[in-house]
Amino acid sequence: MQFTKLTCRLWFQRVSRHNKDFCSKVPKTPKWEEVDHTRIPNVPHIDQEMINHLERVSLVEFNNQAGIERLSKAIESANKLHMVNTDGIEPMESVLEDRMLYLREDKVTDGRCKQEVLSNAVKTIEDYFVAPPGNIPLKTKERDYGSNSKGS
Amino acid sequence: MWSKQWKSVVGLEIHAQINTESKLFSGAENKFGGPTNTQVSLFDAAFPGTLPVLNKGCVEAGVLTALALRCTVNKVSKFDRKHYFYADLPAGYQITQQRQPLAVKGYVDYCISDKNNFQTKTANITQIQLEQDSGKSLHDEKDKISLIDLNRCGTGLMEIVTEPDFSDGTDASAFVKELQKILQTIQTCDCKMEEGSLRVDANISVHKPGERLGVRTEVKNLNSIKSVSKAISFEVKRQIELLENGGVVENETRSFDTEIDETVPMRDKEVKTDYRFMPEPNLPPLHLFDNESVKTVASKISVINIDDIQQKLPPLPEDTRKRLEQQYCLKRRDVAVLVDNSGLVDYFEEVMRLSPTTNAKLVSNFIINQLLGVLNDKKFTIHNCPVTTDDFGRLIDLVQTEEISYSTSYKVLDEMFEHPNITPEDIVEQKDWRQISDTQVLTNICEKVLEEHPKIIAKYRKGKLKYLHTLVNKAVIDSNNKGNPRILKQIMEDLLDNK
């Protein structure tokens, strides 16, 4: 979301400045702007509860202290996007947003390919996929996330 | 005692499967009960590289439904991804319309009737959104596995969200019934709750009047009208008892156990769900048109005109109720019964068309009080009713002209079911069921009754008017149930007054 805002902003600036050659959306020369770090929002404290939550919704394990640091860096880097002024600019969700959405006629044209559908399944019983029961919580392994993550 | 101090508030979320040939975003078949995993496209199974293609039929059905529920259809609506992990959702997200749904702000008029009460209420619709259904899981408790069938995965759903406008289970279930009738009339959903094509979630809270709304619980997947009513009633009672005893209502998801008629906490409840909504990048916004804006489009492919669909909207149950009330001067309660039962309105109007002189009230009474009962007893429906509308109208004429009594008409109707080829007149003739209206014959019967029951006459003379009925009933019995009760009553009164 934030990334698209940035893209939008750059494009907007470019169009307004060089109205004649707006077919190219890439600046001709690289531009560098120093970011005032004091104005970037702080990286939130990442405690055990937050790690559990993130691991659960992303299905990614952070494994160790290095993983947590990498996450902090990533958040800090992403936070720089807050520096871009997007006031009054409608967020662009897709480059196709002004296109007509193609609508298909309501006809059966697909399916009936049980073999292919089941081909990646680890285990099947009578043409059903076999899955673990319900939502089972992520296994809690003993992992060392360092002392600073021992939060609430 | 406590029930007066508490007020319950109920809002509903209804999932209605869209009645289309194929699924919402894939060309796989959309039919209930197909062989396991045969109605699944690679997109439905979330194979990498597959893309959603929106079904025009689903959008048209959604717009028609929105118009039937008097909603404002959004000219632009958008699709979003709602993420969660469950084995019957292979993509890890459901495509839905969270930010800008298909339609908003509508209302439905519905009737609530029980023994003492009959009233018409209005419920407000918050929004209607298009979304995908998930697959189905069968849980094998013993072997600790879930079996997944993806046939339902990707079926088009209309999620209909209401305002918290309902006061209790009876109220909410009356609304669901009306919604069912509307969707069946416009044929956008078959509403077979037992097959899961219409499922109801209820948000329930209680509070004291004048205070803030209480913490709500959500009861999920109610799959019958009875369950909607019972689950809400139970949940309201549970919350009140909990609060009365100093407890707190937890904001949680519950399910309804139909074996014990109680709501129970869902086993795999999560602390706080984070659905990580995001715009669906593979689907541009859905644009809809009206008569004005459609002129600006060059190609008519993929164009849906809301005004065209409005034209296709058939008369809805409430329209029919209002029309019958006015056209035939019927009571709303009776009209509601006719409209509630599929086919009855057509049958009624056919009878009225064939014999326009027949009293409409009498016809509707006969259908509601006699025909419906016999149909049920003999395991028929109005659609395969052996009694033709012509014969039924003639039966009513026999009653209207006092050829037969009201009570005899039950017996005649029964015979008509057994022998559909014999007319009601012939049945009355053959069985010798014609009503006696000859005053001389009836006067003789009445005089005999009065002679035999001097004690009852005495009681009547003391001012107990109900004994007149006792005497009339005795006369009816003495006439082998053939005497015209109206005339018998008249004669009996005259005789008593002149003695």
Please tell me the distance from the alpha carbon of residue A56 to that of residue B25, in angstroms, as a whole number. Answer: 28
Mean pLDDT is lowest, of B46-50, B115-119, B359-363, for B115-119
Predicted pLDDT of residue A149: 45
Mean pLDDT is lowest, of B109-113, B132-136, B434-438, for B434-438
Residue B284 is nearest to which of A101, A130, A134, comparing CB atoms? A101
Residue A133 is nearest to which of B35, B144, B278, comparing CB atoms? B144
Predicted pLDDT of residue B480: 80
Strands (E), A2-147: 103-104, 124-125, 128-131
Strand partners, B123: B108
Residue A17: pLDDT band (50, 70, 90) is: low
Question: What's the average model confidence in pLDDT over B362-376?
Answer: 90
Distance from CA of B289 to the nearest CA of A (A): 12
Please tell me the distance from the alpha carbon of residue A113 to that of residue B314, in angstroms, as a whole number. Answer: 39
Summary count for chain B: helices (H), strands (E)? 16, 17
Are B87 and A103 inside 8 Å of each other by CB? no
CB contact A109 to B (< 8 Å) = yes
Scanning every residue of chain A, which has its alpha carbon at the shortest distance from the alpha carbon of B285? A97
Strand partners, B278: B81
Are B281 and A134 inside 8 Å of each other by CB? no
CB contact A104 to B (< 8 Å) = yes
Predicted pLDDT of residue B431: 82
Take residue B77 and report the two structure tokens written for it.
């609506």
Contact criterion met (CB below 8 Å) for B269 and B219: no
Distance from CA of A54 to the nearest CA of B (A): 10
What are the angstrom distances between the C-alpha of B187 and each of B190, B200, B225, B303, B332? 7, 19, 19, 21, 25
Please tell me the distance from the alpha carbon of residue B486 to that of residue B493, in angstroms, as a whole number. Answer: 11
More confident: A59 or A5 = A59
pLDDT digits (tens, 9 = 90+) for B463-480: 777 888 888 888 888 888
Three-state SS annotation for B193-241: HHHCCEEEEEEEEEECCCCCCCCCEEEEEECCHHHHHHHHHHHHHHHHH
Statement: residue A23 has pLDDT above 80? no
Take residue B68 and report the two structure tokens written for it.
């039937």
Statement: residue A21 has pLDDT above 60? no
More confident: A103 or A24 = A103
Question: Which residues 36-65 in chain B show a CB within 8 A of chain A?
Answer: 36-45, 53-59
H or E element in which residue B9 lies: strand B7-17
Contact criterion met (CB below 8 Å) for B87 and B136: no
Take residue B316 and report the two structure tokens written for it.
């809805």
Statement: residue A71 has pLDDT above 70? yes
The residue whose two tokens read 């689903």 is B58
Statement: residue B50 has pLDDT above 70? yes
Take residue B404 and report the two structure tokens written for it.
């037969």
**Ranges of CATH 1.10.10.410 domains, chain B:** 439-498
Residue A114 is nearest to which of B38, B54, B144, comparing CB atoms? B38
Are A116 and B42 inside 8 Å of each other by CB? yes
Question: Which residues 285-344 in chain B show a CB within 8 A of chain A?
Answer: 285-287, 301-302, 304
- SS3 category, A108: coil
Size of interface A-B (CB pairs under 8 A): 145
What are the angstrom distances between the C-alpha of B155 and each of A80, B24, B152? 41, 6, 6
Scanning every residue of chain A, which has its alpha carbon at the shortest distance from the alpha carbon of B57? A106
Residue A111 is nearest to which of B20, B29, B141, comparing CB atoms? B29
B253-257 and B217-222 strand pairing: parallel
Q: Which residues are within 8 A (CB) of B436 and not within 5 positions of it... i.e. 6 or more apart?
A: B442, B479, B482, B483, B484
The ipTM (two decimal places) reads 0.81
Statement: residue B26 has pLDDT above 70? yes
For residue B263, which of B224, B221, B296 has the smallest C-alpha distance?
Answer: B221
Predicted pLDDT of residue A135: 58
Give me the amino acid identity at A111.
Answer: G
Say how many Å lie between the first and final Cα of chain A, rounded: 30
Dihedral pair phi/psi, residue B72, rounded to 5°: -90, 120
Question: What's the average model confidence in pLDDT over B20-28?
Answer: 97
pLDDT digits (tens, 9 = 90+) for B218-241: 999 999 999 999 999 999 999 999
Interior/surface letters B115-124, b for 16+ CB within 10 angstroms, e for the rest = eeeeeebebe
Predicted pLDDT of residue A3: 47
- Tell me the chain B residues in contact with residue A128 when contact means C-beta distances shorter than 8 Å: 36-37, 138, 147-149
Helices B332-340, B317-328: crossing angle, 10 deg rounding: 130
pLDDT digits (tens, 9 = 90+) for B380-424: 989 989 999 999 998 998 888 888 888 888 888 988 998 888 899
CATH number listed for the domain at residues B439-498: 1.10.10.410
- Tell me the chain A residues in contact with residue B139 when contact means C-beta distances shorter than 8 Å: 133-134
Predicted pLDDT of residue B104: 98
Scanning every residue of chain A, which has its alpha carbon at the shortest distance from the alpha carbon of B273? A57
Statement: residue B124 has pLDDT above 70? yes
Are B53 and A104 inside 8 Å of each other by CB? yes
Please tell me the distance from the alpha carbon of residue B238 to that of residue B234, in angstroms, as a whole number. Answer: 6
- Tell me the chain B residues in contact with residue A122 when contact means C-beta distances shorter than 8 Å: none
pLDDT digits (tens, 9 = 90+) for B445-465: 888 888 888 888 888 888 777
Question: What's the average model confidence in pLDDT over B323-332?
Answer: 92
Residue A150: pLDDT band (50, 70, 90) is: very low
Among A108, A109, A112, pick the best mutation site for testing chain B contact (most B Cβ within 10 A). A108
pLDDT averaged over every residue in chain B: 91
Among B19, B23, B29, B41, pick the best mutation site for testing chain A contact (most A Cβ within 10 A). B41
Residue B277: pLDDT band (50, 70, 90) is: very high
Contact criterion met (CB below 8 Å) for A9 and A1: no
Mean pLDDT is lowest, of A140-149, B316-325, B485-494, for A140-149
pLDDT digits (tens, 9 = 90+) for B70-100: 999 999 999 999 998 889 999 999 999 999 9
Question: What's the average model confidence in pLDDT over B271-281?
Answer: 83
Among A51, A96, A100, pick the best mutation site for testing chain B contact (most B Cβ within 10 A). A100
Statement: residue A147 has pLDDT above 70? no
Predicted pLDDT of residue B4: 64
Statement: residue A140 has pLDDT above 80? no
Contact criterion met (CB below 8 Å) for B23 and B156: yes
Please give the full DSSP string across B41-85, using - where no structure is assigned.
-TTTTT-TT----EEHHHHHHHHHHHHHTTPEEPSEE--EEEE--
Predicted pLDDT of residue B68: 98
B54-55 and A103-104 strand pairing: parallel
Question: What's the average model confidence in pLDDT over B367-391?
Answer: 90
The residue whose two tokens read 């809690």 is A140
Question: What's the average model confidence in pLDDT over B341-353?
Answer: 91
